[in-house]
Every structure is written in C-alpha cells, then in structure tokens.
Amino acid sequence: MQRLLARERGMSLAAKLATVSWPFVIMLCLLAATGYAMLYSAAGGSAEPWAFRHGLRFGFGVLLMISIAMVDIRFIKRLAWPLYFLGVGLLVAVALHGAVGKGAQRWLDLGPIQIQPSELMKLFIVLMLASWFHRASIERVANPLFLVPPVIAVAVPVVLVLRQPNLGNALITCILAAAILFAAGVRIWKFALVGGVMAIAAPIAYERLHDYQRNRILTFLNPESDPLGTGYHIIQSKIALGSGGMFGQGFVQGTQSQLNFLPEKQTDFIFTMLAEEFGFAGAAALIGLNLLIVLYGLAMALACRHQFGRLVAVGITTNFFLYVFVNIAMVMGAIPVGGVPLPLVSHGGSAMITVMIGFGVLMSVHVHRDVEIEGEQQG
Amino acid sequence: MKKEKTRRAVFTRRVLMLGAGKTVLMGLLTGRLWQLQVTESERYAVLAEENRISVRLLPPPRGSIVDRFGVPVAENRLNWRAMLVAERTDDVGATLATFSSLVPLAEHERARIEREVRRRRRFVPVLVRDFLEWEDMARLEVNAPDLPGIITDLGTSRTYPFGETFAHIVGYVAPPAEADLDGDPMLQLPGIRVGRSGLERQHDRTLRGRAGKVQLEVNAVGRVIRELDRQEGTPGQVLTTTIDAGLQLAVARRIERDSAAVVVLDARNGEVLAMASSPSFDPNIFAEGVSAAQWRAWTTNRRNPLVNKAIAGLYAPGSTFKMVVALAALEARAVTPQERINCHGYVELGDARFHCWKKGGHGPLDMREAIKQSCDCYFYEVARRVGIDRIAAMARRFGLGVDLELDLPGARAGLVPTREWKRATQGVPWQQGETLVHGIGQGFTQVSPLQLAVMTARMVNGGRAIQPHLTRAIGDQLVRGHRPEDWPAIGIPEAHLMLMRDAMAGVVNERGGTAWASRLPPELGVAMGGKTGTTQVRRITLAERERGLRRQEELPYEWRHHALFVGFAPVEDPVYAIAVIVEHGGGGSAAAAPVARDVLIETLTRDPARRTTPPPPPRPEPQRVAAAAPLEGRR
C-alpha cells in the first residue's frame, strides 16, 4: 500500500481531473438529457413522476463516475477477484432471499436501495477476466488449459443467472465474456467450435426452458400470431415506430405513446416513444450518439498502455453496446423481448447506477492509461 | 518487449474488428428502423389510426307501437339507473353503505356489485340499481357529495301498458340470440333488445331504427379521451296497428276465464280490430327475464298461454263450414236453393250410418232452412253430390287452408283436404263417406279462427278477397289495403252471397235458428248474422250413441266439444266479421255464440272501423292470468 501511494504521488488530483475525458462526459450528459426529455413526455408533459428523479440520479451518477475515475487503476485491479467473489455471493444471496419480480428472482432488497446483482456481476466479470489475461502473452493464451479457469469463472455466475431465471441476461453475459476473450487474442476457431457445440445443444436446452421463455422465443418468431397476448408489446411498438415516420409526431405528440398503447414506455420501450415523437431522424441520431460513445470507449482502450486497462475498456464498452443494441433490436421486434433498458435514457435507478459505475472504471482506465502495472508479460 | 508488441498488435486488430462489427450492427438497426418508419410508414400509420379511434354505436330509441287511435300498446319506459365508477371513490364499501342508507340494497345485490367492481377495469361503470323511482333519484342527487363514484343516467326499457291483453299481438323483446344477428352492428351492443314474437318481431327492423355513431379517441385500455365526431341515428318508426285497444281489452276480458280465441275484422278491408287468445301471458315479464318456474308454468299449462290460438290454433270448422259447401253446390248447380232434402235423423252409405245432430231428423228442408237449423243430413247429401275437390276449391277461395300472408309471425295455414292430398300423404284413395263427413266440417279439415273470420268477411263484403292485416301505418305512411277497392273479387255471384247472408241472419234472428238465444238486444237497433259450429274432439262410439248421448257438461274437460261461432254485423250493411272458438266449451250455440254477441255489442258501440277519433280512452290495467278458472268448466 505504501508503494502504491508512492507511485501515485506522481499525479495530483487536479492533474487527474484534467485528464478526465470531458468530451465523453458531455456525450453521456447528452444521452441523459434525451432520457429526461423522453421521460417528461412519457408522463404526458410533466417532470413527475419520472423525469425529475432521472435527472437527480444522473447528477449523482456523474459524481460517482468522476470519483471512481480518480481511483488508481492498480487498486481496482487488486479488487478484481474479491469483487468477483462478492458478485457470486450476491447472486447466491438473491437466489436464496431475493425479491420476486415479474416471475423471476433478480433483485436483492438492501433496505433503501435494491440492487440487481446480475448487472453488477457483468462489471465484475470484466474486471476478473481483464485481470486474468493481464499478464498473459499470446502464446499463453493459445494454451487451452490456460482458458479453463476463466471459462469456469464465467460459467458459475451465468448458471446462477440462468436459474433466476433470466435467459437474456445470461446470454448477454456470455457474449460479453466472449468479446473480452476475443480481444485478449483467443483464436477465432475456438469461438467457432464453441458456437458449433451450442448450436447442437440449443434444442436440448429449449426443452428445459420455462414456459414464459419459450413463449418469448415463439412470439419472436411470429409476433402477429397472438396480438393481444405475448406479441402485443412488439406489435404496438412497431405500430408506434411506423406512426413516427421520417420526422415524427412532435414532442409530447406521439399518439400511440401518449394514449398508452405502448407498454412500459418509460422503461424498456422509451426508444419507441422517441422514434414516434422525433421520427427516424431523431431515432437515428440517438443510435449515432450511442455508437459514438461505444467507439470513443474503444479508442480509450487502444490508447491505454497496459493490457488490464485495455481489456477493461473493451469489456465496459461492449457491455454498454450490448444494452443499447439489445434494447433497440427488441423494440423493433428483431430479437425477443428481454426487459433490457436503454442505458441513461430509460427510467430506473439500479441500471443507471450500474452503468455509471462502469463508466467510472472506464474513465479511471483513461486517466491511468500510462501507469505501469507490475507483473506485465509473465510466462 | 517484443511479446508485448505482438500482443498489442493483436489487441488493436481485434478491437478494430469489434468496433467495425458494432458499427455494422448499429447500421443494421438503423436500416431496419428506416424500413419500419419510412418505407412501411403508411401501413403502420393506418394501424395507428385504428388503434387510436374507437367507433361506438348510439342505439336509437325503439319505435313505439300504437293502436288505430294512437293509444300506446308498446312503448319505452324511462329507466333511471345508478352506476358506480370504482376509480372515483376511495372506498367502494363506504359508498355502497351510504347508498344503501338512501336506497336499500339487498345483500346479494351488494355481493354482485362488489364482484363486478373487482372484475371490471376501474373506470368502467358498474350497475348498482336500475328502475329507480323518481323519489329515489331525488334522494341520490341531493346526497351526491356523500356518494363519490355514484353516477346516474337515464336509459330506456320496453314496456307494454296493456300487459296480457296485447301479448299475442305485440309480442315481446329479448336480447338477441345467435340467429337474430342479421349483420346490423347495433345488435352487438350490450342491453339491446330485438323483437322475439308478434309485431315486435314482424317489424323489428322498422322499430329498431338505425344506430348513430360516435367516434371517440381512446387510449390503450379503452378510456375515452375525447369525442371526435358524432352522427345521430334514425329513431325507430312508430307502428300503428289496426287494433282498437279498447275493443281488444273488452274482448280479452270477455274470454279471460276460457281457453278461447276471438278475431274481429273489418269485413270491408281485412283490418284486424281485435284478436284475443286466452289464456295469455304478460310480455313485461320478458323485459326483466323469465324465471325457470314461470317458464315451466307457461309451457306445461294445457291451455297453452304462449300460443296465439287465433292464428296458430287449428280446429275442424264444424258447421261453420256449411256455407262453403252450399256455395260450392250452387256454383256446381248440384242443388238449387229451393230444393228440399228430407232429413230423418241419419244418412246411410254402404254399411255406414251418418247421424244428424238432431235425433229423429229435421224433415224436408231447403238450403236456407238447412243452414238456419244446421241440418247435417242436408249437407251429407249436398256434399256427396258436389264432391270433395270442388268443396276444397271453394274453401280455398274463402281463405281456408291457405296462407293468408298475415303480417304476424306464427300464423298457420291449416288444411283443406282433396283426393290428391289424401293419395299423396296417406297412400290410400279417398272414400265417399269421407266426403260426407267433410260436408259438415269434420274430418281432416283444419282451420284457424282467423281463417274463419276471413271466410265470413269475404262472404258478407260482396265477395272481395280481403286479407287480414294488423299493420295500419308505419310512421305516417298508411299501408296498402286499407280501402276495400284494394282487394280483388273472388267471383261468387251476388245472389249466392245474399242467400248465405240471409240464411246466417236467420240463424240468429229467427226462432228455430241455432243462435236465436244470442240475438242482439233490440234496443241496439242493429242485428247480427252468424253460424254456430260444434266440433267433436273425439269420435262418438256406436255404443255411446245407443246408451244415449251424455250431456257435454258431464264429460271430462278434454272430451268436450269445441264451440265455434262465425258472425257479422250489421246484417243489412255488414262492417264487422267475427270468429269465436271456445275450446272444450261444449256446443257452439251455448258457449261461442254468447261471446260473439257480447263482443259485437261492444264493437258496434265503439264502432272503431267507422270513426277516426277514439271513443273514450280505455284504461290499461294489466291483468292476472285467470288461473282460478276451473278446468272442469262452468256450471
């Protein structure tokens, strides 16, 4: 600890603040402002009950993010494994005592705040994997035995999430882990092999799915088959998108959203609402802004001089990307509905804080991009 | 350091691949979005509009039915209702408790309301109580501040002020069944009623009117945001019947203790002035729903209160058929009016013996006397000469055994047999003995009281083929057929018709006529004509005849004869035709003719066919079913 502080002395707090990527912060603020506007509209032109709290949370989130950005990346690296085990512990706790919401045990009620451990877990897995591959050379990564421990470490929480049951989140976690392995240099044919095995295993897994999960998949395949049942959300969402047209119905003017045909418009379907009120132009702009944030995150990864930071940056960026992609694809009926919010735009405290913590770590990577972490390149 | 370099190179390559992949995926999403929002925009815009706008129907008031003088016989009663909108009150229980202190609610009513409140969406009104009295409404309105969530509105329900008296004519309304759905979207509305029988059914489309439309902007759960457009519908038209409500009431009262039917026609144009069938039922019961017990009581009653015997009851015409036989014989020149045929009590044909009703016989009689005294032997002989086919043809010209196209559902055509008919349906040839039996209106012949009234009318109106009808006007438009000239002649020589009219006058107004006892009182200054009829409901066996016929009153009710009478008045210039049947009443002269007399007195007094303004208005008093009428008949 003494040594760590000594090395850190090289950077003052002011210097750290100066190296924070402020353009990135501004992009996040733009995204959150969009969320504020849409939540204002979702309430029929009122800051209550969602927009005001959204703004407040984001303000808190920004403070939290900057604070985490000040934390030395080496300290964060040391916490990687302890945090991973904490995450697994939380998942077990949620399985034993979690509150049941919408037919699944996902939330842990800690008095004033409720947390969704499966969301935090994704961040912890990123840190864990980055830490594991931090020292590994390409040759080492090529050794299949070296890959066994991290794959098991990913599999344990994924199985716990599956059992909640939350198929969507489990799949997203797998894809996230795969992206980090990919960036770490794992051979492409290994991904192909695993993909092939999964393709064979999928029908067997389908047999073991819950009814509501099967329903979702079936509805996805043919949403019009059951317009008032499970396909209702998707059809209403598509109607709302279509009614938006090129330039939209206007702010607080979306007929489908304002008349409540659109379900859960303040959370999962907020993108649909934006697309109805601001049309294709507005929706494409929002997609563009999100892509910009993703690419900026990847650029931060490239600029980092240590492998840990690079992998963390790729992981956090990919995690954000997956949120955005899954949410938008879902409301367009391109993939099954999965209860995934649009980060920083959808209403919801737990998701917002999780995302902001992630970005805080990403900023820390950026601030500490040039520090040296011992144990580089072993084996 | 070299290792670090290659690792970084691999990392950079792979991150660029990831970045490219993510950009492509976002691009795909944008492309799909373009497709949904721009390319297919129109398709979704239509769907969106459908989503947003809900068209609701406004049911118009059902047209009322009035009698010929405008007295309502079916109308819409205002129905004050109290409803509860759950979302407008914090405590449904407290609101209901307050309501109950003003207008008491039974325990089962509260249970029903609370059940419906739980089941429905919270903004949907739930019926608390309907048919509220005006005083109750006033109390609720005054206490409105203490009754959050209670709203009141005004609906209508069908009501029949004359109750049983008009049941068979106006019919009743009921919620539409699957078979009633005729494509009119109005029938899908909750609470809508369609005519289920009688005029309500016959003129259902006219009375129903056309629904208006209101376009509402609604949200996803159906809550109304605002009204966009409103088109008022067309109210149902007023239907004016030919019936005189006052006469109808008098007729219904006269036969309420019997199982009987009476039809009074305007002989000149076929308008039905009164048509009663007893026992009857109260159509108002159908408005609130018929209990299983009530329904069982109706359907198991041997007197069939639900059946309109005037049009759906079929009986052998008995001696009332004799004029038809006489006219067929005159047309075929099988007999002259002056020819006397001897009656010595029976006629023998082969081994069979056909008896006259009068033991010992009437002696020699000409046609007029034979009708007046209703001699059976005379008509056995005449029928034998004419043959059944010519009798049947004549009967059809007088409306017997044919579909009279009555504007009321449920009328039956009856049966007038021919040789051809018997061969086709029974596969055996016609027997001459059967011709004799049919000559006095027995055998296979089956006619309805309405048909008998039509027969009489055509006989006394100069031979015009009037058809009976109950519709006088729809809205302001008089229907065709209210003038005598609207009807074609049936081609019977005037002399023949005059002979019948004269003979029927003799039946009532001369000593020795079978209805002499039922002649109109002289102070009325008008006379009637007519013909009695008695039909056996079971064959009299030879053994019984030898033992001596028992008096009708001593027989079990079901074995007694049906009593019939057809008549007209005034004798000189006939306006009214009447047919009466009293089931198991005994003899026509004893049971049916007095009813006809009383009804014609009332008819001539009111004279509905010849006046345009009503006599003093009748007072509608719904009556009870005459359950007390003893099945064993009068003594």
pLDDT (tens digit, 9 = 90+) per residue, B593-626? Answer: 999 999 999 999 988 888 877 766 555 554 443 3
pLDDT at site B417? 94
What is the overall mean pLDDT for chain B?
A: 85
- B484 preceded by cis ω (within 30°)? no
Q: What is the pLDDT of residues B257-297, one digit of tens each?
A: 899 999 999 999 999 999 999 899 998 888 766 778 888 98
pLDDT at site B22? 94
The residues in A 265-324 lying below 8 A from B, measured between CB atoms, are 275, 279-280, 283-284, 287, 290-291, 294-295, 298, 301-302, 307, 310, 314, 318, 321
| Full-model pTM | 0.59
Nearest-CA distance B56 → chain A (Å):
18
> Is the Cβ–Cβ distance between A123 and A316 less than 8 Å?
yes
Task: Report the candidate in B57, B78, B62, B64 with the shortest Cα–Cα distance to residue B209.
Answer: B62
Task: Report the candidate in B113, B200, B193, B173 with the shortest Cα–Cα distance to residue B149.
Answer: B113
Quote the tokens at residue B151: 């709203």
- Determine whether A271 is exposed, middle or buried from the number of CB atoms within 10 Å of its CB (0-12, 13-18, 19+): buried
End-to-end CA distance of chain A: 26
> Is the Cβ–Cβ distance between B518 and B569 less than 8 Å?
no
pLDDT grade for A3, boundaries at 50, 70 and 90? very low
- A165 preceded by cis ω (within 30°)? yes
For chain B, what percent of residues have pLDDT higher than 90? 47
Question: SS3 for B615?
Answer: coil
pLDDT grade for A302, boundaries at 50, 70 and 90? very high
- A23 preceded by cis ω (within 30°)? no
**C-beta atoms of B18 and A377 within 8 A:** no
**C-beta atoms of A242 and B4 within 8 A:** no
- Greatest mean pLDDT among A136-145, B84-93, B98-107, B405-414: B405-414
**C-beta atoms of A245 and B14 within 8 A:** no
Residues of B in contact with A246 (CB under 8 A): 37-38, 41
What are the residues whose beta carbons fall under 8 Å from the beta carbon of B543, sequence distance 6 or more? none
The residues in A 248-267 lying below 8 A from B, measured between CB atoms, are 255-256, 259-263
Backbone angles phi, psi at B218, to 5 degrees: -125, 160
Residue range(s) in chain B whose domain bears CATH number 3.40.710.10: 245-287+310-610
Q: What is the pLDDT of residues B221-258, one digit of tens each?
A: 556 666 777 777 788 899 999 999 999 999 999 999 89
pLDDT at site A371? 87
Residue B22, chain A, CB below 8 Å: the answer is yes
Backbone angles phi, psi at B133, to 5 degrees: -75, 160
- Determine whether B544 is exposed, middle or buried from the number of CB atoms within 10 Å of its CB (0-12, 13-18, 19+): exposed
Q: How many pairs of residues across A and B have Cβ atoms under 8 Å apart?
A: 137
Backbone angles phi, psi at B118, to 5 degrees: -65, -35
Alpha-carbon distance values, B72 to A118, B65, B240 (Å): 76, 6, 9
pLDDT at site B230? 78
pLDDT at site A217? 65
For chain A, what percent of residues have pLDDT higher than 90? 41
pLDDT at site A108? 62
pLDDT at site B546? 67
Residues of B in contact with A227 (CB under 8 A): none
pLDDT at site A109? 60
Q: Does A254 have pLDDT greater than 80?
A: no
pLDDT grade for A231, boundaries at 50, 70 and 90? low
Give the Cβ contact number of residue B358 at 10 Å. 15
Residue by residue, DSSP assigns B381-421 as HHHHHH-HHHHHHHHHHTTTTS----SSTT----B---HHH
**C-beta atoms of B219 and A261 within 8 A:** yes
Query: Which chain A residue shows the shortest CA-CA distance from B223?
Result: A259
Give me the amino acid identity at B350: G
Q: What is the pLDDT of residues B432-460, one digit of tens each?
A: 889 999 999 998 999 999 999 999 999 99
Nearest-CA distance A302 → chain B (Å):
6
pLDDT grade for B635, boundaries at 50, 70 and 90? very low
- Region A264-292: what's the mean pLDDT? 89
Nearest-CA distance A14 → chain B (Å):
30
Q: Does B542 have pLDDT greater than 70?
A: no
Q: What is the CA radius of gyration of chain B?
A: 36
Residues of B in contact with A190 (CB under 8 A): none
Q: How many angstroms separate the CA atoms of A95 and A87, rounded?
A: 12
Q: Where are the domains of chain A?
A: 18-367
Task: Report the candidate in A373, A375, A369 with the shortest Cα–Cα distance to residue A19.
Answer: A369
Q: Does B497 have pLDDT greater than 70?
A: yes
What fold is seen in the domain B245-287+310-610? Beta-lactamase (3.40.710)
Quote the tokens at residue B448: 């309805």
> Is the Cβ–Cβ distance between B429 and B241 less than 8 Å?
no
- Region B152-156: what's the mean pLDDT? 76
Q: How many angstroms separate the CA atoms of B322 and A20, rounded?
A: 120
Nearest-CA distance B43 → chain A (Å):
8
Give the Cβ contact number of residue A145 at 10 Å. 7
Active site residue B319: yes
Query: Which chain B residue shows the shortest CA-CA distance from A279?
Result: B37
Q: How many angstroms separate the CA atoms of B192 and B182, rounded?
A: 14
Q: How many angstroms separate the CA atoms of A194 and A175, rounded?
A: 12
What are the residues whose beta carbons fall under 8 Å from the beta carbon of B526, sequence distance 6 or more? B520, B569, B570, B571, B604
pLDDT at site A170? 85
Q: How many angstroms separate the CA atoms of B327 and B457, rounded?
A: 15
Give the Cβ contact number of residue A302 at 10 Å. 16
Q: What is the pLDDT of residues B50-67, one digit of tens each?
A: 666 666 777 788 899 999
Domain B57-241 coded CATH 3.90.1310.10: yes
Residue A240, chain B, CB below 8 Å: the answer is yes
What are the residues whose beta carbons fall under 8 Å from the beta carbon of A25, sequence distance 6 or more? A62, A65, A66
CA diameter of chain B: 150
**C-beta atoms of A314 and B18 within 8 A:** yes
pLDDT at site A44? 80
Query: Which chain A residue shows the shortest CA-CA distance from B3?
Result: A137
Q: Does A230 have pLDDT greater than 50?
A: no
Give me the amino acid identity at B615: P
For residue B517, give the DSSP letter.
Answer: G
Quote the tokens at residue B531: 């013909």
Range with lowest mean pLDDT among A351-355, B16-20, B53-57: B53-57
For residue B194, give the DSSP letter.
Answer: E
- Region A167-192: what's the mean pLDDT? 89
Question: SS3 for B270?
Answer: coil
Q: How many angstroms separate the CA atoms of A262 and B284, rounded?
A: 47
Q: How many angstroms separate the CA atoms of B267 and B501, rounded?
A: 13
Q: Does B178 have pLDDT greater than 80?
A: no
pLDDT grade for A219, boundaries at 50, 70 and 90? low
Residues of A in contact with B33 (CB under 8 A): 241, 275, 280, 283-284, 287, 328, 332
Q: Does A106 have pLDDT greater than 70?
A: no
Task: Report the candidate in A62, A73, A68 with the shortest Cα–Cα distance to residue A22.
Answer: A62
- Region B177-206: what's the mean pLDDT? 79
- Determine whether B381 is exposed, middle or buried from the number of CB atoms within 10 Å of its CB (0-12, 13-18, 19+): buried
- Region A286-315: what's the mean pLDDT? 94
Degrees to nearest 5, angle at CA A253 with A251 and A259? 135
Choose the catalytic residue: B64, B278, B319, B589: B319
> Is the Cβ–Cβ distance between A375 and A134 less than 8 Å?
yes
